[in-house]
Amino acid sequence: MNMQLNSYRVKDLYLAAYLYCEGLELGEVEKVGKVCWFNFVNKNKCEQLINLYWKNQAVSKIKSYTDAIRTLKDLIYSS
């Protein structure tokens, strides 16, 4: 399957951190002007988790979530 067809792109840092801490593979971080896009592999799993996130039904380990935010911020500001 084509990588782009099976990927999901988000710019919301906190949503991206949730997906990352849930174990989804981060394909790349793409900077477009002042906006950073986080590209995740496995579009179907992303959509399932995002649905839970927006319904306020997401359950995650808070330490993992906090670590994911730090990791993604490091990726944004390191380049």
> Domain for residue 2, yes or no?
no
pTM as predicted? 0.87
> Domain for residue 49, yes or no?
yes
Q: What is the pLDDT of residues 7-19, one digit of tens each?
A: 999 999 999 999 9
> Domain for residue 72, yes or no?
yes
> Domain for residue 11, yes or no?
yes
> Domain for residue 21, yes or no?
yes
Domain count of the fold of the chain: 1
pLDDT at 2 over 60: no
Q: What is the pLDDT of residues 14-41, one digit of tens each?
A: 999 999 999 999 999 999 999 999 999 9
Cα 12 to Cα 19: distance, rounded to the nearest angstrom:
11
> Domain for residue 1, yes or no?
no
* Domain limits for position 34: 7-77
pLDDT at 1 over 50: no
Which amino acid belongs to residue 69? I
Cα 60 to Cα 49: distance, rounded to the nearest angstrom:
11
